[in-house]
Chain A
């Protein structure tokens, strides 16, 4: 158990809909990262928050947004969903602002299926 909690574990929805994925980082970790994993693209970095502020942005679509709240939990909002958004969405956390001087701790992921 990494200590990172993600909900929901599975989500099935229709095209055009909006969903929210939630992440609670490990106790004491200030950074939260969101990744998308698909078979053809692998693990793609979406966005990072550090202590409530956006720290880095990756290949995140404009239809997607995220935030980190004062209690450090984070939410990833996916809107106007398309079939191609079906993937595993992982949240990871680390103590510091950079994941490279420490390890990233990943949650078990939220599997999104868009029909």
Chain B
């Protein structure tokens, strides 16, 4: 079982829809959870950063962490064509531990 599972299937939604992405993980030591966004031919950039369980909201983006279920989610409200990108979840136990990334979800928002 991989440390971080993210269904890499592409997702196409119409503009204005809610996008829902999620990852599951197996390492109970993970306590730092992030979502990175990667545009085509670019490097990943940090989108959301959450410590431990709970919700975090930033504009149209909401990150949720449920440590009891080892499940994290990213919601994008009122999606825009500019949100079309690959979204990667990442997590770590902290300290000198490396980030473990999911494979990424390609999201296409259709105008």
Q: How far, in Å, is B49 (CB) from chain A's closest CB?
A: 7
User: In this complex, what residue of B is CB-closest to A47?
Assistant: B98
Contact call A43/B92, Cβ cutoff below 8 A:
no
CB contacts under 8 Å to A, within B84-105, are: 88, 92-104
Q: Is the interface of A mostly helix, strand, loop or mixed?
A: mixed
Contact call B43/A58, Cβ cutoff below 8 A:
no
The answer to the question of B78 belonging to the interface, with a C-beta cut-off of 8 Å to chain A, is: no
The answer to the question of B45 belonging to the interface, with a C-beta cut-off of 8 Å to chain A, is: yes
A to B CB contacts below 8 Å, 20 in the list? A42-B88, A42-B103, A43-B101, A43-B103, A43-B104, A44-B101, A55-B96, A56-B96, A90-B43, A98-B94, A99-B92, A99-B98, A100-B94, A101-B32, A103-B34, A103-B49, A105-B45, A106-B44, A108-B43, A109-B42
The answer to the question of B46 belonging to the interface, with a C-beta cut-off of 8 Å to chain A, is: yes
Interface residues of A, count at CB 8 A: 25
Residues of A within 8 A of B92 (CB): 99-100
8 additional A-B pairs beyond A43-B101, A55-B96, beta carbons within 8 Å, are: A2-B45, A42-B6, A45-B99, A99-B92, A101-B32, A104-B46, A104-B99, A108-B43
Contact call A107/B43, Cβ cutoff below 8 A:
yes
